[in-house]
A and B are shown apart, each in its own frame.
Chain A
Amino acid sequence: MTDTTNITFYERVEEALQNTQARGAFDRATKRFTALRATAFTSLPAAGDLTRDRARAIRAETLSHLDRYLAQFADAVATAGGQVHWAADAAEANRIIGEIAQVNHVQRVVKSKSMVSEEIHLNHALEALGCEVIESDLGEYIIQLAGETPSHIITPVIHKTKEQVGEILRDKINMPLTHEVTEMTAFVRMKMREIFLTADMGISGVNFGVAETGTIVTVTNEGNGRMTTTCPRIHVAVMGIERLVPTLDDLSVMLQVLARSATGQKLSVYTNLITGPRRAHEPDGPDELHVVLIDNGRSKVLGTEVAEILYCIRCGACLNACPVYREIGGHAYGSVYPGPIGSVVTPALYGVALWSDLPHASSLCGACREVCPVRIDLPGLLLKLRHQTAAAGKTPKYLQVGLRAFRWAGTRPALFHLGMKFASWGSRLIASRGWIKRLPGPLSHWTQSRDFPAFAKESFSAQLKKRRRESGIEGQP
């Protein structure tokens, strides 16, 4: 995954911050999701605390015996009549799926939302073979028509207004212009039906694989997950190797936290369990089921100090809770995986050397850890990655310069104090009511999206000294 073009993270952030309409949309949507999530958890005993503990324990158990569960899962898929494929990396996964398509003379492919297929750039690979690939999730479909990338892992088109969506649908699929969302939905339903019923191959992601039964689980609200895995003759399910739970009972625990964390629903509308292809006595469903197990860096991560990130169930709650994501949205991260999860998983999978900025795209406020249904210590993992970037000499420039200056001044007390005086005096000169709306020079980035407080009249150490003097305590601060 090296398609972040040449612009830097900070340039993308700047671009994102200038799009005030999208910023408003991110802010509204994420706050609303956060509120819905909180309400949804109140219906569980102890507000979901016990369920989350258990969900975490299930992921811990699975990952610490991943070899065993993966083997069990693969055997069970085969017993149910499915075909299992193993892919070490993106190129191999694309080759495998491409071959399935070619052997079966597949022309039209319909997809339901899958992050891992975005991770490996599957659409691109299939299109290069001459296949037509159509995303079926409403948001993903609009994004695909617009030639963009998703900005949120649950609601990919959250950065667009309904007016903009109406224009895309008019320009790309000749829908009469409307601002009515119900009309747009009805039009897309009609358009998509034809695609579902004529597609040769359906590709889905996998929310969970169940080791004991070889069941794959896809969760959607729209029903595109069911259509994709029912109508076409061939169903290809792509999944990361870490996506497992041991048993159906474990699955029920994960399902209780997944929908609540993602959208604030108790359960998504279609929680779809698929075990093997259509049996001989069944009237419909695909004739072939292929499960492609994709490693693509995951086994490597498993042996590192950020292995815990593999517990992630891709619910998106940490995005919604993150004050940085709320401001800059998904595109600025430049990765398929945005937000706190992305800031850990992207460098973990593809190397801190290429993605050294992302672990710094966080204020470490801890909001993500609070909401994570499997209690991943995201701030802790970010710190570990920051440490790695520093060790690799990959600390972002602004930090390097700043820290060097601080070290230099910090070891020269007289100069340091003089500097503080100037800062205090200068900051109050440009502040209004104690807040600075626009910092000068390179510091202006800070105030583009927030205000900065003016410095106090006296430095902390000066205040402390004074107080001690007043209360009669002497000594060095």
Chain B
Amino acid sequence: MTTREETLTRIRQALQTGRLPVATPNDRPATLTPESDRAARLALFVREAQANGSEVFQPATLDDVVEMLHELMKQAGQQAITWPDEDLPLPNIREILFRAGVTRHVPNLPTEAALRRQTWENLDGIRVGITGTLAGVADTGSIVVQSGRHRSRAASLLPETHIALLPIERLYPSLQAFFAAHSPQELTQNSSNLVFITGPSRTADIEMIITRGVHGPKRLCVILLPPVGLAA
């Protein structure tokens, strides 16, 4: 068995020969985040998200949300893997989902192998996932999804359609701005998974022909929620 110390010693010895090109502190310029105001950030997010194949919705009223969900659910069956109410950033989400005719599944995977497998297979047939988001990144058109208590990874991964709720005030101009605003602890301590999702699942492996929905969702629908809240 190679121990940690053996490896680290080999590395230290190698470093002593000092053949690496030197990096001076000047080689590390400060963070390069372009500044932008809120309107520009929003416009940029919408443009980039659409460019990467996401569908962006900007509802004005609660009824718009209900109608939109209703439409999506009609095409995809009434079942959805969802996060719990407190993690979906709309005050009356329970009622909205009810009005849209959604049957909710909030999974919890057993550790026992056979039961675990059974739960996955049950979830696999469900064609819609509904999640909240921790943030959006404007210059890449990405949403940031963090796992946690009752916040399954499955909801943004297994179904063909992923619907993500994103409050506009959670938009950051860039990846670096996002990381600057969150401590490493809050991103990683109580959560095993943080994923930047930039459009629907895609591949260009065969003859560079772009195809959607290889292993993850075919459709990514981002619902942007205005800071003032939605009119009833």
Contacts and interface: CB of A to CB of B under 8 A. Distances in A.
B20 to A, nearest CB: 5
A256 B198 CA distance: 13
Contacts of A56: 23, 27
> Which of B106, B196, B205 neighbours the largest number of chain A CB atoms within 10 Å of its CB?
B205
Contact of B205 (A64, A139, A248, A271): A139
Nearest to A165: B206
Interface size class of A (residues with CB under 8 A): 35 or more
A86 B157 contact: no
A275 B12 contact: no
A247 B137 CA distance: 19
B207 A284 contact: no
Contacts, number: 290
Nearest to A268: B198
A291 to B, nearest CB: 12
A328 to B, nearest CB: 19
Contacts of B124: 193, 197
Nearest to B17: A303
A197 B121 contact: yes
Given A54-B29, A70-B11, A273 B179 contact: no
22 contacts: A32-B208, A54-B32, A64-B22, A67-B8, A70-B7, A86-B2, A92-B2, A138-B206, A185-B206, A185-B213, A189-B214, A222-B215, A226-B157, A226-B215, A266-B140, A267-B175, A269-B52, A281-B149, A283-B151, A284-B153, A285-B193, A302-B15
B20 A308 contact: yes
A279 interface: yes
B94 to A, nearest CB: 19
Contacts of A71: 4, 8
Given A29-B208, A299-B10, A64 B32 contact: no
Given A185-B211, A226-B157, 6 more contacts: A53-B27, A221-B203, A223-B217, A271-B198, A282-B148, A283-B109
A149 interface: no
A50 B148 contact: no
Interface stretch (B56-64, B66-74, B95-103, B110-118): B110-118
Contacts of A185: 203, 206, 211, 213-214
Contacts of B89: none
Interface string A45-68: 100001101101110110110110
B197 interface: yes
A66 B123 CA distance: 43
Contact of A162 (B7, B23, B200, B207): B207
Nearest to A295: B7
Contacts of A165: 206
Interface stretch (A114-122, A153-161, A431-439, A469-477): A153-161
